[in-house]
């Protein structure tokens, strides 16, 4: 009985995972081969790979794959470097830095709906505050959210702005775990601040950077709310990433079958990239975790 | 004897409440608190006059309307009826979940006289499937003070040429002064707002999506000309409107950054609250060889089959006819969203209940224009007087018109290419 105790305890979780993960994925897989409009028709026709072939003929879909990768890459770059820089800056035990550390969390606390609306107003070209500042410097106003070349990058910045506090707090937590004795010893050995950063700080926060990188990748690739609430994938599909494209297919064009096919492709891409990420970037000490029986 | 009479009355009232009371449930999608309150006001009035019927409103936001309706149909949990728009009614019709309402239309028409154009989107294969309750016409709204300052007259443009010239003049003259006011407010965002503005321009050349047999007739010289005109006019619209939706255009207009725009009349409530009366409207200008026309969005109620099964049909009919009584209809239109929600019957349009509303009264001329516009309005896909091709729901949902305009104004496609692209996209929906 003792042997099966653990299994009994884990059954509710398994059932939950089956319902919220496997069941939707199987439904999605099944719908992707059928002529489904809304998603729950009775006995829809089986159409084989037609949804997939139509997708790959659609330049907007192909473009959305490229944009999703670009979106993720730009976000990762900012979301890993800026939090690290800020954490190094704020990693001091003084009153001022403690205050800054507490307010730095504010963007992270805000729901994405609020973030989207606030930024939409701030970036509005005619009555928005940012353009008001730009124009007051006698510079020409900028079309932030209506430009086919600029809007994508502006949205990356807003998305990263929202993530940075979370990343910073995690980095700060990692930095606080490094014993000060190591720095003291290095100083005694004559290491300068750059050398201390490279040889002590970076190796010891590697695990956290790896973890933040993974989170930032998953969240960035799946970003939907910000894009939908600001541009709906426009102008002229310039911000049409995969999640936005899938949503539009499913809930605006009512092409649930095609949307399922696109969602499955997106899931496969995500899993593949995640596996590659695990294989390449997992810190050595984590790869070799062994459970020691007591 | 007296005691016995009182006892019997109490018993009768009690039994009506407990045993004989029919409860009908409806869904609507107007989630703002003041709209919910207006619905409740109407419900309370109805229940007072009909103590044997209890009415319950349930709010399902527009964003969830399609999925929840279809899920409820699938699960057999539909309400008795729901407020809707043509595309949603078509969806419910396609799902074989609603009943024809010809008898209710006939009764309302004989009592209050429907504006005929409002019935068109709800006629499918010879029968009516939705009861229009209110409608939303688009007109050219403008700021008289801006026109007076830059054009030397408060007289708004009446033709396309005048509109283009006036928009250009206002933009260029104000730009010279260093405080640009854009002559026209047009959006090109990937949303319904853009779609409605574009279609309003298209109606001026009598563009039709389908012929009487449901064949696609979109790619015509008239469509090309309308899109070309939109593109020309767009030059005098604020930069950045490729990313705009309702909020931005309303804000810019209210801030005095836009002089004119094809839009609904609902901004009058905001102006009224701010005690700013610098707002008026004119019928959408049209080319000299064109026609008066504008987009109009009639909102209806469709009745689910479940109401028949539950024996609620008579109560539902009674409630719907009640909603169209001019004093009641004024609550759902003038009080709920003055200028945006407009009566669809002649009786309600002429009723003192409507015109005595303080906001409607303040912007009397504007509202007269809006009421006039209900006679010229059409909705994309329903120009022939009935729903002839049910793919219009998907075409509208996918914002095909909006995307077409985005492609044009961002320079991604020429007008011809964009119209071709839109037609191909529409064909793909029809094929499905």
| pLDDT single digits (tens) B372-407 | 999 989 999 988 888 888 888 888 888 899 999 999
Provide the whole-model pTM.
0.81
What's the average model confidence in pLDDT over B423-427?
93
pLDDT in tens, A150-171: 999 999 999 999 999 988 988 8
ipTM rounded to 2 decimals: 0.72
* Alpha helices, DSSP H, located in chain A: 2-17, 23-31, 50-57, 59-90, 95-103, 106-109, 112-122, 129-136, 151-176, 180-188, 193-196, 202-221, 225-230, 242-251, 256-281, 284-287
Domain extents for chain A?
A: 26-57+254-284, 75-244
pLDDT digit string (tens) for B113-155?
A: 999 889 988 998 899 999 999 999 999 999 999 999 999 998 9
CATH class in words for A75-244:
mainly alpha
Question: Is residue A173 a contact partner of residue A209, using CB atoms and an 8 Å limit?
Answer: no
Chain A interface test: which of B71, B190, B404 (most A C-beta within 10 Å): B190
User: What average pLDDT does the segment B85-89 reach?
Assistant: 90
- Residue A69 Cα to chain centre, angstroms: 11
Distance in Å, alpha carbon of B235 to nearest chain A alpha carbon: 14
Contact call for A148 and B240, based on CB within 8 A:
no
The predicted pLDDT at position B15 comes to: 54
- Greatest Cα pair distance in chain A: 79
Q: Does B242 touch chain A (CB under 8 A)?
A: yes
Taking an 8 Å cut-off on Cβ atoms, the answer to whether B407 and A236 are in contact is yes
- Residues of chain B found within 8 Å of residue A252, distances taken between Cβ atoms: 397-399
Chain B residues touching residue A145 (CB < 8 angstroms): 240, 243
Tens-place pLDDT, residues A239-292: 999 999 999 898 888 888 999 999 999 999 998 988 888 888 776 665 554 544
Domains and their CATH numbers in chain B: 20-137+297-377 (3.40.190.10), 139-295+390-431 (3.40.190.10)
Angstrom CA distances, A222 to A154, A162, A281, B50, stand at 17, 15, 21, 52
Q: Does A144 touch chain B (CB under 8 A)?
A: yes
Cross-strand bridge partners of residue B127: B124
- Residue of A228, A234, A256 best to disrupt the B interface, most CBs of B under 10 A: A234
Per the CB < 8 Å rule, is A146 touching B241?
yes
**Contact between chains at A125 and B71 (C-beta distance less than 8 A):** no
| B406 → closest Cβ in A126, A144, A234 | A234
Please tell me the distance from the alpha carbon of residue B389 to that of residue B415, in angstroms, as a whole number. 25
Contact A283, A206 (CB under 8 A): yes
Is the Cβ of A255 closer than 8 Å to some Cβ of chain B?
yes
Task: List all residues 6 or more positions away from B383 whose beta carbon is below 8 Å from its beta carbon.
Answer: B206, B207, B208, B209, B210
> Cβ of B303 under 8 Å from any chain A Cβ?
no
| pLDDT tens-digit map of B209-263 | 999 899 999 999 999 999 999 999 999 999 888 878 788 899 999 999 999 999 9
Per-residue confidence (pLDDT) for residue A141, from 0 to 100: 85
- Tokens standing for B92? 């419910």
Q: Which residue's entry shows tokens 């064909």?
A: B427
The mean pLDDT of chain B is 92
Interface test with A, best of B94, B240, B250 (most A CBs within 10 A): B240
Nearest CA to B91 among B119, B69, B111?
Answer: B69
A193 touches chain B (CB under 8 A): no
Give the closest-approach CA distance of A145 to chain B in angstroms.
5
Q: Which of B252, B397, B407 sits opposite A254 (nearest CB)?
A: B397
Contact B360, B348 (CB under 8 A): no
Residue B367 near chain A (CB below 8 Å): no
The secondary structure of residue A178, as a DSSP letter, is: S
Please report the pLDDT score of residue A283 as a whole number: 67
Q: For position A288, what pLDDT does the model report?
A: 53
Of B191, B243, B252, the CB nearest to A146: B243
Q: Locate B16 and state its tokens.
A: 């009506």
For the segment A176-234, what is each residue's pLDDT rounded down to a tens digit? 888 889 988 998 988 888 898 888 888 888 888 888 888 888 889 999 999 999 988 88
Of A120, A126, A151, the CB nearest to B257: A126
With contacts defined as CB-CB under 8 Å, which chain A residues touch B191?
232
């Amino acid at each position: 009985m003792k042997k099966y105790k653990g299994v009994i305890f884990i059954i509710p979780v398994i059932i939950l995972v089956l319902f919220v993960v496997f069941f939707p994925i199987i439904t999605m897989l099944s719908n992707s081969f059928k002529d489904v409009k809304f998603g729950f028709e009775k006995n829809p026709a089986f159409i084989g790979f037609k949804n997939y072939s139509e997708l790959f003929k659609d330049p907007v879909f192909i473009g959305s794959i490229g944009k999703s990768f670009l979106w993720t890459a730009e976000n990762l770059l900012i979301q890993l470097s800026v939090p690290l820089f800020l954490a190094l800056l704020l990693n001091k035990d003084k009153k001022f830095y403690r205050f800054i550390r507490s307010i730095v969390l504010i963007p992270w606390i805000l729901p994405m709906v609020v973030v989207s609306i606030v930024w939409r107003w701030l970036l509005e070209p005619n009555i928005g505050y940012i353009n008001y500042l730009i124009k007051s410097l006698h510079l020409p106003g900028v079309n932030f959210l209506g430009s086919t070349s600029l809007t994508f990058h502006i949205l990356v910045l807003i998305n990263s702005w929202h993530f940075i506090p979370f990343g910073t707090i995690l980095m700060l937590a990692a930095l606080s775990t490094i014993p000060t004795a190591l720095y003291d010893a290095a100083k005694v050995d004559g290491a300068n601040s750059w050398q201390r950063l490279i040889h002590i700080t970076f190796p010891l926060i590697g695990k956290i950077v790896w973890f933040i990188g993974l989170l930032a990748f998953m969240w960035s690739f799946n970003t939907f709310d910000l894009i939908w609430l600001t541009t709906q994938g426009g102008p002229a599909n310039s911000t049409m990433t995969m999640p936005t494209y899938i949503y539009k297919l499913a809930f605006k064009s009512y092409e649930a079958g095609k949307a399922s096919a696109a969602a499955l492709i997106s899931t496969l891409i995500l899993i593949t990239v995640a596996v590659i990420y695990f294989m390449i970037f997992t810190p050595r000490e984590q790869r070799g975790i062994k459970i020691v029986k007591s | 004897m007296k005691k016995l009479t009182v006892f019997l009355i109490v018993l009768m009232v009690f039994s009506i409440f407990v045993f004989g009371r029919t409860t009908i449930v409806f869904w609507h999608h107007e989630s703002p608190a003041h709209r919910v309150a207006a619905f409740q006001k109407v419900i309370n009035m109805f229940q007072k006059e009909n103590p044997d019927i209890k009415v319950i409103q349930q709010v399902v936001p527009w964003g969830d309307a399609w999925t929840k309706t279809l899920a409820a149909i699938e699960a057999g949990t539909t309400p008795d009826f729901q407020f809707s728009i043509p595309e949603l009614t078509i969806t419910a019709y396609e799902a074989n979940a609603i009943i024809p309402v010809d008898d209710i239309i006939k009764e309302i028409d004989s009592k209050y006289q429907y504006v005929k154009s409002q019935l068109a989107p709800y006629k499918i294969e010879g029968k009516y499937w939705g009861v229009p309750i209110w409608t939303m016409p688009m007109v050219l709204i403008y700021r008289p003070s801006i026109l007076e300052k830059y054009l030397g007259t408060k007289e708004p443009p009446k033709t396309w040429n005048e509109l283009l010239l006036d928009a250009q003049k206002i933009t260029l003259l104000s730009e010279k002064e260093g405080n640009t006011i854009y002559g026209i407010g047009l959006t090109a965002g990937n949303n319904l707002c853009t779609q409605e503005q574009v279609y309003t321009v298209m109606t001026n050349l009598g563009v039709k999506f389908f012929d009487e047999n449901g064949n696609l007739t979109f790619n015509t010289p008239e469509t090309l000309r309308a899109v070309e005109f939109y593109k020309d006019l767009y030059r005098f619209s604020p930069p950045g409107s490729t990313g705009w939706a309702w909020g931005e255009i309303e804000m810019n207009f209210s801030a005095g950054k836009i002089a004119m725009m094809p839009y609904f009349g609902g901004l009058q409530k905001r102006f009224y609250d701010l005690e700013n009366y610098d707002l008026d409207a004119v019928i959408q200008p049209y080319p000299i060889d064109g026609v008066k026309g504008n987009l109009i969005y009639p909102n209806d109620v469709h009745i689910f089959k479940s109401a028949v099964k539950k024996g609620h049909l008579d109560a539902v009919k009674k409630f719907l006819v009640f909603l169209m009584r001019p004093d009641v209809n004024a609550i759902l239109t003038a009080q709920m969203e003055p200028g945006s929600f407009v009566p669809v019957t002649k009786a309600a349009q002429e009723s003192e209940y409507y015109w005595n509303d303080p906001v409607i009264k303040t912007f009397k001329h504007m509202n007269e224009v809006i009421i006039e516009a209900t006679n010229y309005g059409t909705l994309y896909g329903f120009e022939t007087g009935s729903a002839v091709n049910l793919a219009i729901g998907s075409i509208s949902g996918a914002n095909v018109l909006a995307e077409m305009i985005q492609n044009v104004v961002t320079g991604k496609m020429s007008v011809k290419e964009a119209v071709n692209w839109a037609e191909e996209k529409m064909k793909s929906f029809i094929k499905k």
